[in-house]
Amino acid sequence: MDSIMSKLRNLDAYPKINEDFYSRTLSGGVITLASSILMLLLFFSELRLYLHAVTETKLVVDTSRAETLRINFDVTFPALPCSILSLDAMDISGEQHLDVKHDIIKKRLDSHGNVIETRQEGIGAPKIEKPLQRHGGRLEHNETYCGSCYGAEESDDDCCNSCEDVREAYRKKGWALSNPDLIDQCKREGFLQRIKDEEGEGCNVYGFLEVNKVAGNFHFAPGKSFQQSGVHVHDLLAFQKDSFNLSHHINRLAFGEYFPGVVNPLDNVHWTQETPSGMYQYFIKVVPTVYTDVSGHTIQSNQFSVTEHFRTGDVGRLQSLPGVFFFYDLSPIKVTFTEENVSFLHFLTNVCAIVGGIFTVSGILDSFIYHGQRAIKKKMELGKFN
């Protein structure tokens, strides 16, 4: 047994020095204290990284097909009434959503930004449930009233019982409604008078759009939109105004769900109109993004970058359309963020590296200072140090 213990003793790579030969110095104490503090700081830093998940980022080719893109928006127009503001969306596949009213909320605002009224549908002249119809020189209520569409009927059975019905029929035909006072329904509902009453009001529009996952655009513009000779135009004659103030504040614009760390560059962007009319354009590059948290929950969303541009309304017919346009295109590259916990072995390896590295470097520094002091002291004793 003594032989075995002796052999094990010879394997000791750390020979011990007798305490009688220890030499403790002030510099060594300072270095030991500093290195101990540094060890603790690095240890807690590594512990924090271990307790919190790290995010791994990858770029892959987006091969998804037949998906939809959800656009969340919240935009305020401080000088444009809700009754004349419309929302349209279209894409390169040819699909169009004109005068969108579903899944959006409009709030009428006064000049101070206070909410006057909130409605889910379009805000303007209300539909009269029991309109008056002329019979034999007298006006009477008629439950079976069928108003004229003024030439815009698609069949003999079509009825336009409100001003909105007539405007919609005209839109489908690609016609402009030049003078609402010539339309009985609009005159009866006080269409122009309500627009005048809302003069000076603002509008807050928020909600979301579900569109095809292809390049396209959506825009906020005054008037009903329609197609004329293959061109997208808006009927502005009905409002009898020369210019529209399209100053706007984008409270929020996001393509998809929120995920930790996302930055939407158009949030809280404000534009004040300085010219009588113009087109505000935002060219957006959408990057598909997949975020997976540490529990395995996956969020399909998007990030985007944007370029802003303003075009005055004195060049060309299409370019002169006043409105706020968002043109978006999708990147073929998808970004994936994956949260992962650091393994315990990795944490233990880093802690050992911290302790061993600092201990070794501190020993080298202490040895350098100690032998330097001894060399200087010896030279001073020999009178060779100046």
Give dist(CA 191, CA 180) in Å, integer: 7
- Of the three residues 150, 175, 197, the one that is the final residue of a domain is 197
- Final residue in a domain of this structure, among 179, 197, 215: 197
Strand partners, 105: 206
Give the model's pLDDT for residue 136. Answer: 39
Position 308 in a domain = yes
- Over its C-alpha atoms, the chain yields an Rg (Å, rounded) of 37
Q: Are 270 and 205 in a shared domain?
A: yes
Q: Which two tokens stand for residue 217?
A: 């655009």
Q: What is the pLDDT of residues 259-272, one digit of tens each?
A: 988 889 999 999 88
Instruction: Specify whether 91 is located in the same domain as 205.
Output: yes
Final residue in a domain of this structure, among 339, 354, 370: 339
Predicted confidence at residue 155, as pLDDT, reads: 78
Q: Strands 323-330 and 278-292, how do they pair?
A: parallel
Pair (86, 113) in one structural domain? yes
User: 74-78, 187-191, 206-210, 216-220: which has the minimum mean pLDDT?
Assistant: 187-191
CA distance 93 to 211: 11
Same domain, 361 and 255: no
User: Residues with Cβ < 8 Å from 303, sequence gap 6 or more?
Assistant: 255, 262, 263, 286, 287, 289, 335
pLDDT score, position 19:
57
Q: How confident is the model at residue 380 (pLDDT cuts 50, 70, 90)?
A: confident
Please indicate, yes or no, if residue 6 is contained in any of the structural domains.
Answer: no
CA proximity to 341, closest of 45, 56, 58: 56
Same-domain status, 109 and 217: yes
Judged against a pLDDT cut of 60, whether residue 128 lies above it is answered with: no
Q: What is the mean pLDDT of residues 156-185?
A: 77
Residue 13, domain member (yes or no):
no
Residue 181 has what DSSP assignment? Answer: G
Tell me the H-state helices in the chain.
2-10, 26-51, 163-173, 184-189, 191-197, 344-382
Q: Are residues 349 and 330 in the same domain?
A: no
Q: What digits encode the pLDDT tens for the residues 312-347?
A: 765 444 446 788 999 999 999 999 998 887 778 888
Judge if 161 and 77 occupy the same domain.
Answer: no
Does 44 map to a domain? Answer: yes
Alpha helices in 52-110 (DSSP H): none
- Asked if residue 3 belongs to a domain, the reply is no
Q: Residue 254 belongs to what domain range?
A: 60-124+200-339
pLDDT tens for each residue of 129-140: 544 444 333 444
pLDDT interval class at 230 (50, 70, 90): low
Task: Note whether residue 19 is domain-resident.
Answer: no
Question: Quick one: how many helices (H) and strands (E) in the chain?
Answer: 6, 18
Check whether residue 30 and residue 175 sit in a common domain. Answer: no
3-state secondary structure of 276: coil
Position 27 pLDDT exceeds 80:
no
217 shares its domain with 120: yes
* Statement to judge: residues 221 and 346 lie in one domain: no
- Has residue 106 been placed in a domain? yes
Name the range with the highest mean pLDDT among 141-145, 182-186, 284-288: 284-288
- Indicate the range of 162-171, 215-224, 280-289 predicted with least confidence: 162-171
Same domain, 95 and 34: no
**Strand, coil or helix: 7:** helix
Query: Which residue in this structure is represented by tokens 């987006």?
Result: 62
Q: How many domains are there within the chain?
A: 3
DSSP state of 13: S
Say if 223 falls within a structural domain.
yes
Confidence tier at 183 by pLDDT (50, 70, 90): confident
Distance CA 210, CA 216 (A): 12
315 and 244 co-located in one domain: yes
